[in-house]
Structure 1
């Protein structure tokens, strides 16, 4: 890892630990505090790597092997590593190892809040490793549920919302037999609705939009004898998400949501009382959403999403020609 120490905070941290006034423990705590702040405000990968350097510097100074300080450095390294974009599993595996080494120590010496935060972060890493066959979705779900014992909706609505969203997404990818699909979707919908009891558009708009969008996605594919009713509920949930997600402020999230909404409109009758009359109006709305989403995805070089939306535009055109 090449470090330039261009960030003023890093230079200040390195200078601070040279002080003869501070004790070794105080120096390590100082490094952890600066690394955490730098990591939280990082705008570049280099700044994240600099925070990792500071955490590791803290571990080097910890010659007396103070357990809690070591665990906090390890947890910080894990969080920094998982925030670095990577197409492979190496950084996630390194983050997993850091969290798993830190957790037993934290469980012995740290506050319940610190433990739950590390559990939640480990769950995110495990969920990311599933596609590489380096973890199971059951492991991720199990650790998420441990974190919910502390991160309750009443006391920590934001963290609770993230956990419930992650649990729901995890359940959707859980391999189950056909006879258990209804149970799976029931758990998923319940997770989203449970989180939305505590998260509002005013207090936590980002999490609110995420939950509404993902709830709508689930409602689209919910096994039911009332698909139109569920699709109408999905449209309302997408509209709630779009109160937060805008083309100017969150273009990619906005594009994802309108593309999802278009998918509902594709098969939704214009008049639900008379479905035989077709859905040309909804198809036109569908096309407008897809054209807008395609433009945004293309502009941001999101090739996969652009291709999906382009394919949908072709399907819309074919369907309209049949009317």
Structure 2
């Protein structure tokens, strides 16, 4: 007899409890949704998320046909599990899009304002990811974020407002730079990051604060501006602010991402902004040290693609460093 996996055991136990209950169908549907949410919130394996999706589906089927709002709420929650579940293609994301659009048709008429805004925000995320795969329009993602902002404003919902500003900014930056409107979108992105940072702070919203600072740094670093050096030093300040939250101990992956971004920025800035013609040998050495630390963390945490990319950047910098006659940085063993 083959032993049941932990996930299968949990699902069967949940179905048994619901099946044996004398509760009305609507209550059983809510029970299934609650069990699915519990599995989704603390998944120990990808199977947990797929099992949660199945329980949500059963919840939709269990909900009486006259309970459209309950069905919509379950569909909206199911979409978030679909968004989180790992998949080899866009199938689950496209299913999440369908569930959210179906849910919004009812939520828009009967749901709470916050439910509608949360569904719109999640729809924007799905559309933005699908747009990167050529399966949706990025403009539709931007529209969804903007609809969510009608409810998630800076006064009443600062954390959600900041996340939406971040998502809007990254959506603006993902549009191909084909003409002068690209510069306007870059400016809008920087403005959105800064707008988000006006409503969150290091103490009350540390994760959102660090995310916005890191992404603001990236936007400034890569902006096609005539103020490249000025923007670069502003980017360093943003990365340093993010690193007040993203530490090697508490958030190694995010820390490695930010120090790698900081390294790339440093490598392209002069040592003395007042004398850019003097070169940047000192900044290159500092960048190599940061790259080495980031690569070690990526290798240790299994992000081998990132480790390889950092290694390639290091090789290029080491060639540039040699041209200044500066001794190479001693790397740690990986």
TM-score norm. by structure 1 comes to 0.94
Separation in 1, partners of 2:43, 2:75: 18
The equivalent of 1:320 in structure 2 is: 321
State how far apart, in whole Å, the 2-side matches of 1:196 and 1:37 are.
Answer: 32
* Structure 2 equivalent of residue 299 of structure 1: 300
Q: What residue number does 2:205 align with?
A: 204
Listed as ranges, the gaps of 5+ residues in structure 1 are none
Once the two structures are superposed, the pairs formed by residues 216-231 of structure 1 within 5 Å of their partners are: 216-231=217-232
Secondary structure of the residue that 1:178 maps to in structure 2?
Answer: coil
Of the candidates 18, 21, 30, which is equivalent to residue 20 of structure 2?
18
Runs of 5+ unmatched residues, structure 2:
325-334
CA spacing shift, 1:34–1:309, aligned 2, 3 Å: same
**Structure 1, 32-41 or 103-112: larger mean CA deviation:** 32-41
Higher mean C-alpha deviation, range 259-268 or range 275-284 = 275-284
2:332 counterpart residue number: none
3-state SS of the aligned residue for 2:225? coil
Q: Partners in 2 of 1:273 and 1:62 — Cα distance?
A: 68
Q: How many residues align?
A: 321
Mean Cα deviation higher: 22-31 or 207-216: 22-31
Post-superposition CA distance 1:45-103 (Å, at most 9, x none): 22212222221221222243410111112112111111012231111111111111111
What pairs up with 1:86-165 in 2 under 5 angstroms? 86-165=87-166
SS at match of 2:20: coil
In the TM superposition, 1:1-323 aligns within 5 A as 5-6=7-8, 8=10, 11-12=13-14, 14-20=16-22, 22-323=23-324
Task: After superposition, give the CA deviation of every residue in 1:33-56 in whole Å (9 maximum; x if it has no partner).
Answer: 232233122232222122222212
Deviation of the 1:181 alpha carbon: 2.4
CA distance in 2, matches of 1:172, 1:14: 49
Identify which range, 134-143 or 50-59, moves more after superposition: 50-59
**Displacement after TM superposition at 1:4 (Å):** 6.1
8 Å Cα contact 1:122/1:143 also seen in 2: yes
Give, in angstroms, the shift of residue 178 of structure 1: 2.5
Structure 2 distance, partners of 1:57, 1:78, is 14
* Conservation of the 8 A alpha-carbon contact between 1:3 and 1:46: no
Q: What's the CA shift for 1:258?
A: 0.5
Report the CA distance between 1:182 and its aligned residue. Answer: 2.1
Given that residues 10 and 50 in structure 1 are in contact (C-alpha distance below 8 angstroms), is that contact kept between their aligned partners in structure 2? no
Q: Secondary structure at the match of 2:109?
A: helix
- Output the CA distance in 1 between the equivalents of 2:148 and 2:190: 20
- TM-score normalised by structure 2 residue count: 0.91
Indicate if the aligned counterparts of 1:287 and 1:316 stay in contact, CA closer than 8 A. Answer: yes
Q: CA RMSD in A?
A: 1.9
- Would you say the 8 A contact 1:78–1:94 is kept in 2? yes
Cα displacement string for residues 139-161 of structure 1 (whole angstroms, at most 9, x for unaligned residues) = 11111100010111211111111
1:227-256 deviation digits (Å, cap 9, x = unpaired): 211111100100000111111221111111
Query: Does the aligned pair in 1 maintain the 2:14–2:32 contact within 8 Å?
Result: no
CA contact (8 A) 2:239 2:258 kept: yes
Whole-angstrom distance in 2 between the partners of 1:62 and 1:12: 16
Deviation, 1:277, is 2.0
Q: 1:144 to 1:3 in 2, by over 3 A?
A: farther
Q: CA deviation at 1:296?
A: 1.3
